Structure 1
Amino acid sequence: MLALLAVTAAGCATNKEELLTHGGRTMQDIWRQEAGDGGSGGNVAGRQLLDARQSLRRPLIKADEQAAAAQQARYTRTAANEIQRQFHRLPNPDLVMYVFPHLAGSDPVPVPGYSTVFPLYQRVQYAMPGERVEDY
């Protein structure tokens, strides 16, 4: 019991500043340095990031604007393309199952053999535009 009390007292005697030193910097100072808002290291990193983003940016030219309009027009419904299907149905083959003659019910009644048809997939699946264009 005395040992447990000594261990507990030693644990409470530690200082937060000894365990978690931060060198006198506040959280705001650390954030600014890492985000590039100030300090020497963060500012260089922020400038490099900005330069990399700037190299990826470019202005749109007329050809880009016309190509975007043409591509969007493919998905726009008009009277001309209203009768054409854009999302074709994927094949869902029918399965034929033969049920052998058997007895059914609590009072066994003979049931003759028969065939039944059901689709392979439970739901109808559709292809994306252009993914599958042949007719089924």
Structure 2
Amino acid sequence: MNSRAARSITALEPLMQQQTWTNPLLRLCTSLACALALAACSTSKEEMLPHGEANMLDVWERGATSSIGNSRGRLLLDARQTLRRPIDPQQAASANDQADYTRTASNEIHSQFKRLPNPDLVMYVFPHLAGSDPAPVPGYTTVFPFYQRVQYAMPGERTEDY
């Protein structure tokens, strides 16, 4: 029995030697990683992201002029600005008169061809099981139209309920 224990101890000796060899290496790597982490955190915000003299408006205008084509584009915009003239009150009044004939989102929704009344039906679906693996579906309420298709009134046809 002692010889068996001695053989198992001798078999573990190379593993023990490896462990003692990696232990200093592990310590060195750990201390190096900690030193790098502390050095990375030691830089200041001003050092990492220096604050220049330009404010946000200057940066924006510099970017806008460079995308247009520097001074030529800026001169073109200034020339167009001088050609623009304000709308006089008479033109503004005529624009308001034209508002009824202008296509807007509101006019598109309430168009000339009104929809005929199609009442909404509210139905309650009781809790049930659905699917090939019966999964429980909770009860819910749904809304659907009475008629299958939307019907539109002819111009001048009455659209309100009788």
TM-score, structure 1 length as denominator?
A: 0.34
TM-score, structure 2 length as denominator?
A: 0.30
More helix by percentage: 2
